[in-house]
Amino acid sequence: MLPSPGPPIAGSMSFVWTSRNELQHASVRQLQRHGLRELREPHRGNGDTETPASSSVKVSCGSSVLTQGQELLVTARVLQQQEGHDCHSLELFELALEAYRRNLGPDSKEVADILKDIARSHFRAGRFDRARERHEQALEIYRLRVGTDSNEVADTYFAIARTLLKEHRLDDALRPLNQAVAIYRRTKGRHCRQVADMLDSIAVIHLLQQRHEHALDFLNQAVEIRRRMAAPDSNTVLFKDLMNIGSIHLDFNRFDQALEAFRQSLQLSQQAFGTDSSEVARVYLSIAMVHVSEGRLDQTRQCCDRALAIYQQRFGTHSKEVGGVLSLMADLHALQAGKL
């Protein structure tokens, strides 16, 4: 946690919030100009040799620059939470980075924290290569300052993997994900939420590359962890994992395993989202696909009827969701009549 700025020093710019999420734009622009002037116009003595007076001025200037860096950083982080201020916040982050580097050194943990802020701004703007570059710079500092097995290092590995996924470099993303998993297992234990999250991400990469059995292995590991956790908010992610597991089994005609996974998903979705949610309707349709694959047409129709009722209630009788179910039921009717 970076220190919050103290009271404004003489000549510095304080900024005005009308609320936590609203800044006066004129104040921010003035703060930018002041920050640039402080950082790029250091005070000097009356010659090349420092006198005691010039030395004291230099210390005061350093303190002033750090305070300005703190103010710039707080402002940038507030702006980063607002829509439409990414470029503005990024400029302030860069100014704060320069101030912190000059006063705390280029390899301080605070510098790494700002580099991650800058990376997030680039990521949100779709500049994934720049985001990854900043995350990698932060990673080296974290490894040096807080240790190779720190949460900061593991979190940064995950952030790097996210940028690689956005760049469609799927195999490259596996290495930082595996590194993050190894750190979390050593520091938090094998059955923590962070490990489950990483395993889910690895499973998604294998699914995207049609490596279904590898994906299934990682999904099963994640499910086991989430069941051990028994956290109230784990049901939503557990539901998605079981849906993916069921779909993989269905693709390989392992109908019993698919049905079991979907039935567990149904119970979780009803608990997490409500009995009339679109997630529940999706599960009913997945169960219907298992039944129709095994020729149980009456049970297929029952599941379709339940999904149809939910979609009609939520989206209306003329929605595309209702149309999709009606089309499926028409095919089912043709099957029962022996026309397909």
* Mean pLDDT, the chain cut into blocks of 10 residues (340 residues total): 37 34 42 44 40 32 68 88 81 92 94 96 94 97 95 96 95 96 93 92 94 96 90 83 96 96 95 94 96 93 95 94 91 73
For helices 278-293 and 234-251, the axis angle rounded to 10 degrees is 20
Which pLDDT score is estimated for 68? 80
Q: For the purposes of burial, counting CB atoms within 10 Å of the CB of 45, is it exposed (0-12), middle (13-18) or buried (19 or more)?
A: middle
For residue 309 the two structure tokens come to 């009722």
Which pLDDT score is estimated for 7? 34
Which pLDDT score is estimated for 94? 93
Distance between CA atoms of residues 309 and 74, nearest Å: 50
CA distances from 45 to 48, 55, 256 (A): 7, 8, 83
Q: How many CB atoms lie within 10 A of CB 26?
A: 10
Which pLDDT score is estimated for 63? 53
Residue 284 contacts residue 307 (beta carbons within 8 Å): yes
State pTM to two decimals: 0.72
Look at residues 96, 107, 162, 163 and name the one whose alpha carbon lies nearest to residue 138. 107
Give residue 249's identity as a one-letter amino acid code.
H
CA distances from 142 to 106, 145, 161, 162, 244 (A): 12, 5, 17, 18, 35
Evaluated on CA atoms 77, 82, 83, 89, the torsion sign reads negative
Q: Is 318 helix (H, G, I), strand (E, B) or coil?
A: coil
Residue 223 contacts residue 241 (beta carbons within 8 Å): yes
Residue 198 contacts residue 176 (beta carbons within 8 Å): no
Give residue 13's identity as a one-letter amino acid code.
M
Which pLDDT score is estimated for 80? 84
Look at residues 17, 21, 15, 19 and name the one whose alpha carbon lies nearest to residue 34. 15
